[in-house]
Amino acid sequence: MSNTERDLARQRSERDQERSAREQKARDRRAMVQRIKDIVWSAVIASVLTIIVVTALGWLTTQAVVEKARQEGGKELVALRASICLVRFQQLPDAKAKLAEFKALSYNEQDTAIKGFITKEGLATMLGEDAPAPGSIDKCTDAIRRSSYSS
């Protein structure tokens, strides 16, 4: 083998090694990208599953707990106001006569008449308020209607 043949063989060998090194680098890069994709997808799936499990088990965030407490408190407050309204109605001197008057009306007329009376007398408006709380007139109307059937 002559020097030129050896040089050519050496150059070919170097090119093959460089090519092999580039191919290995490309394979390593693809493997790294695939690992990153796998990690990202695993995180996404784990997040979604966590949200589903947390929601299904009824666990709530702090904000949800606060909001639920406000709603429940609002319902209880309206119920309390309806009770106060009913007591105020029962303390009126002509309460029994009004109950008899309401009883004589049809169901729809009762509703309108009782709501009008509550509004006119201010039975659902608490001290220091200009107007009754939302829903308290309806609850008070229901309480007065129930008391008219129980008496």
Helices (H), the chain: 3-56, 62-90, 95-104, 107-121, 136-150
**Res. 151 pLDDT band, cuts 50 70 90:** low
What is the percent of the chain with per-residue pLDDT over 70, rounded to a whole number? 96
Q: Report d(CA 71, CA 4) in Å as an integer.
A: 92
User: With contact defined as beta carbons under 8 Å apart, do 131 and 125 qualify?
Assistant: yes
For Cα atoms 104, 108, 114, give the angle at the middle one, nearest 5 degrees.
70
33-83, pLDDT tens digit by residue? 999 999 999 999 999 999 888 877 777 677 877 888 888 888 888 888 889
17-33, pLDDT tens digit by residue? 999 999 999 999 999 99
According to the model, what pLDDT value does residue 108 have?
84
